[in-house]
Amino acid sequence: MSSTGTGTQPPPHVIEAARSPVMASAIAGRTKVLPILELALLIAASIAPLVLRDYITVYATRVLILCLFALSFDLVWGYAGILSLGQSLFFGTAGYGVALLSRDFGVASIFAVLPAGTLIGFVAALLLAGFLLLGRHPSSVVFVSLGTMTGAYAADRLARGSHYLGGQNGIPSIPPMTIGSHELSEGPGFYYLVLAILVLIYLLSRFLLRSQFGLALAGLRENEQRIAFFGYNVQHLKAIIFAISGAIAGASGSLYAFHEGFVWTNMLGVVMSTQVVLYVLFGSGTLIGAVIGTAIVEGLSFWLSDNYRDIWPIILGVLLLLVILFRPLGLISLVLGERERVGHFGPSLKEKRNAAP
Amino acid sequence: MDTLLIATFEILSFGAIVVLVVLGLGIIASMMGIFNFAQGEFVLLGAYVTYLMHSVGLPVPLGMLAAPVAVGTLGFVLEKLVVRRFYAAPIVAMLGTYALGLIIREAVRGLTGGLYLSVPEPISGSITIGSLHFAAWRGVIVIITLLVMAASHALLAYTSFGLRVRASLENPQLARASGISTGMIYSVTFAFGAALAGLAGALIVPVFSLFADLGIRFLIQGFVAVMVGGVGSFAGPVAGAGVIGTFSAWLPWLMSPVIADVLVFVLAIIFIKFRPQGLVSGRGVNR
């Protein structure tokens, strides 16, 4: 430990600590913030419906669904560096899709609508990615964000103008989702279902990102050219993560449609896309950051919307700007080191290197 | 024949509006290499300033003169405080300017109470040529756009300030080494681009009326136009704006406006996909 020679004890989040492998492993061993944070949040979320009043539980369910949505945006922006300003396209398309499924075909079983919504989001994202990302010329970041934004705008406009989709009013009074013969209405039951889905998808994403694929994605965000030089097909990587994130957004969109009981054009358009950008301001590039960000933003909105309804969006915008300016890694970087953010890859290898200098 | 003339006039006047919005966006994108996602909100702000001047009882043309000055000043301040930190990171810049736009949009939404507000045309009525009637205000928009375009081009191509701007555009290091304060040039250029957007907002508010989401549509339109035209030159964005403006005004004559609106963007995105460098691929300002 004395090898650094500096008398001062650096705070855990200082990146310089990672320079010396000894220090880094010592610090990483001492302060594993991420698992503690995740576990604490899971426990808090599990007991929340027991202590909260019913109407707040309903609100919390919505927040959890939006967490799922935020997760999908975090995957593309926080990890792959694709600024998808049309993430609501997949969210809304899946929402509309399952709403139509229940309106026109009377399908409301969770085992039908959830896969259907996920599939809709996946296919929509795959098609968009296939067009925007793949091709002979690599697409610029600006082009992709513009393309996704246009996609969301176009979907919003078309839904507004379509009688079949209900025009401005959207599709109202979607019947509740069913599991077998049991009707799933708002409340603790729905809450725990969403929580279970969220945890499952969170763990899947976590597994995916801690794999070789995730490391390549992180590299993509940091330096796309270098990853290309390493022989990765950058465009394919981007398209894959984009489609996965579309699927997650689709799942959350279908849950949202059944939870709220109606879908309307804002779910498709720029409003929702803007919201999801705000969610990850507390920590893009960490999965937990997106979840915490959603919880904080939505929680504060719920709390403040009575008194400060008009200025609240402005405050959010200012916060986002300040974070981008001074904490580009998000507020979560206050408690989480760079090394832990990216994750460890091959810890056994590192141990060996330390053991035999 | 008459319908054709009127249609041509409609297309011309709408194209002029798009050109005004895009000119500022294109100049900023070409100069600094960042895409300003707050540009649509600068348009909105110009419209709002005009409405504000009108609502306190001042004549509308005065408000239209004040709008570019106010928005340009704000652009200058924002560049100094915020945007200049983003030049090294164009991707973060998009998110940052997006946040800026969000702040402006929500502020205006709060100030207008989420309503649609209208501002009367300073020159109402129509001009009659033969048996044809043209909306006078739209004619004024076309004329002002032509003047602004000519003035911007002259400023960039024939003045010593323009020379410095072009030098900073072509080779910032060499420009700095030659004693040009590129930082100052960037600030002024950003302010100029913002002022153009403010002017556009002021001119269109009688036509479109004021509402908080006014900027979003113009933002997408502007971006698409810049990319269709090609980043880096003066002629590119103008050409792109002409194309997009023409299609946006022409297609609704053929099909339902909703489909037309979407189709323009989709066609443009497809075009950009297969020709990323745009219509005009050169750099610089032709004299």
How far is B140 from chain A, CA to nearest CA, in Å? 30
Query: For A325, which of B85, B213, B269 is closest by C-beta distance?
Result: B85
Give B252 or A13, the one with higher predicted confidence: B252
A81:B91 CB<8 A: yes
| Among candidate residues A278, A328, A259, A283, the one with its CA nearest the CA of residue A114 | A259
Range among A130-139, A347-356, B141-150 rated most confident? B141-150
Confidence of residue A94 (pLDDT cuts 50, 70, 90): very high
- CB pairs < 8 Å spanning A and B: 93
pLDDT band at A118 (very low <50, low <70, confident <90, very high): very high
Best probe of the B interface among A74, A133, A142, by most B CBs < 10 A, is A142
pLDDT of A246 strictly over 90: yes
Residue B126 and residue B133 in contact, taking contact as beta carbons nearer than 8 Å: yes
pLDDT tens-digit map of A136-193: 777 777 788 888 888 888 888 888 888 888 777 888 877 888 777 777 777 788 888 8
Quote the pLDDT of residue A250: 94
Query: C-alpha distances in angstroms, A274 versus A28, A137, A249, B48, B60?
Result: 35, 28, 14, 22, 33
- pLDDT value of position A343: 59
Contact residues, chain A, for B265 at CB < 8 Å: 150, 153-154
Q: How far is B7 from chain A (nearest CA, A)?
A: 24
pLDDT value of residue B214: 81
Which residue, among A168, A223, A324, would best test binding to B if mutated, counting the most B CBs under 10 Å from its CB?
A324
Q: What would the two tokens of residue A29 be?
A: 């061993």
Query: Between chains, do A161 and B95 touch, taking CB under 8 Å as contact?
Result: no
Q: What is the pLDDT of residue A189?
A: 84
**What does the pLDDT read at residue A338?**
62
Q: Does A145 touch chain B (CB under 8 A)?
A: yes
Which residue among A160, A270, A328 sits closest to B92, beta carbon to beta carbon?
A328
Q: B233 in helix, strand or coil?
A: strand
A235 touches chain B (CB under 8 A): no
Cβ A146–B91 below 8 Å, yes or no? Answer: no
Per-residue pLDDT at B11: 80
A157 touches chain B (CB under 8 A): yes
Question: Which residues of chain B lie closer than 8 angstroms to A132, CB-CB?
Answer: 273
What is residue B132's predicted lDDT score, i.e. its pLDDT?
67
- Asked if A157 lies within 8 A of B100 by C-beta distance, the reply is no
**CB contact (8 A) between residue B273 and residue A132:** yes
pTM for the complete prediction?
Answer: 0.80
Q: Is A149 on the interface with B (CB under 8 A)?
A: yes
Is A61 in contact with A260 (CB distance < 8 Å)?
A: no
Contact criterion met (CB < 8 Å) for A161 and B258: yes
Q: Is A141's CB within 8 Å of B90's CB?
A: yes
What pLDDT is recorded for position A332?
65
What are the 10-residue block averages of pLDDT along chain B, 287 residues in total?
76 82 82 82 90 84 87 92 81 83 87 78 71 76 88 87 84 87 88 90 83 80 84 79 83 80 86 79 57
pLDDT band, residue A353 (cuts 50/70/90): very low
Is A304 within 8 Å of chain B by CB? no
Give the number of other CB atoms < 10 A from CB of residue B196.
31
Cβ–Cβ gap B262/A143 under 8 Å: no
Rounded to whole angstroms, the Cα distance separating B276 from B236 reads: 12
Residues of chain B with C-beta less than 8 angstroms from the C-beta of A275: none
Instruction: Supply the pLDDT for residue A18.
Output: 41
Contact A317 B106 (CB under 8 A): yes
CA B253 to chain centre: 24
Cβ atoms of B279 and B240 within 8 Å: the answer is: yes
Chain B residues whose beta carbon lies within 8 Å of the beta carbon of residue A274: 102
Q: Mean of the per-residue pLDDT values for chain A?
A: 78
What's the ipTM? 0.79
**Do residues A89 and A155 make contact, with C-beta atoms less than 8 angstroms apart?**
yes
Taking contacts as CB-CB distances below 8 angstroms, the residues of chain A near B85 are 325
Do the Cβ atoms of B98 and A143 come within 8 Å?
A: no
**A182-184 and A177-179 as β-strands: parallel, antiparallel, unpaired?**
antiparallel
Q: What is the pLDDT of residue A169?
A: 80
How close B203 gets to chain A, by Cα (Å)? Answer: 24
| List of chain B residues whose C-beta atoms are within 8 Å of the C-beta of residue A265 | none
Distance from CA of A142 to the nearest CA of B (A): 8
Q: Is A270 on the interface with B (CB under 8 A)?
A: yes
Q: Does A164 touch chain B (CB under 8 A)?
A: no
Asked if B256's CB is within 8 angstroms of A324's CB, the reply is: no
* Residue A341: closest CA among A38, A33, A20, A67: A33
Interface check for A1 against chain B (CB to CB < 8 A): the answer is: no
Note the pLDDT of residue A69: 92
**Looking at residue B96, what is its pLDDT?**
85
B129 backbone dihedrals φ, ψ, rounded to 5°: -120, 115
At residue A93 the predicted structure's pLDDT band, cuts being 50, 70 and 90, is very high
Q: What is the pLDDT of residues A209-229, one digit of tens each?
A: 888 888 888 888 778 888 888
Listed in sequence order, the DSSP H helices in chain A are 21-30, 33-51, 54-74, 88-105, 110-132, 141-161, 188-209, 212-222, 224-229, 234-260, 270-279, 287-304, 312-326, 338-342, 347-355
List the single residue in B35, B99, B261 with the smallest CB-CB distance to A321: B99
Distance CA B268, CA B255 (A): 17
Q: What is the pLDDT of residue A337?
A: 64
Whether A161 has its CB under 8 Å from any CB of chain B: the answer is: yes
* A311/B contact by beta carbon, under 8 A: yes
In angstroms, the CA A203 to CA A288 distance is: 11
Which residues on A lie below 8 Å from B228 (Cβ)? none
CB contact under 8 A, A321 and B109: no
Q: Is the dihedral of CA A78, A82, A86, A89 positive or negative?
A: negative
Interface test with B, best of A128, A321, A326 (most B CBs within 10 A): A321
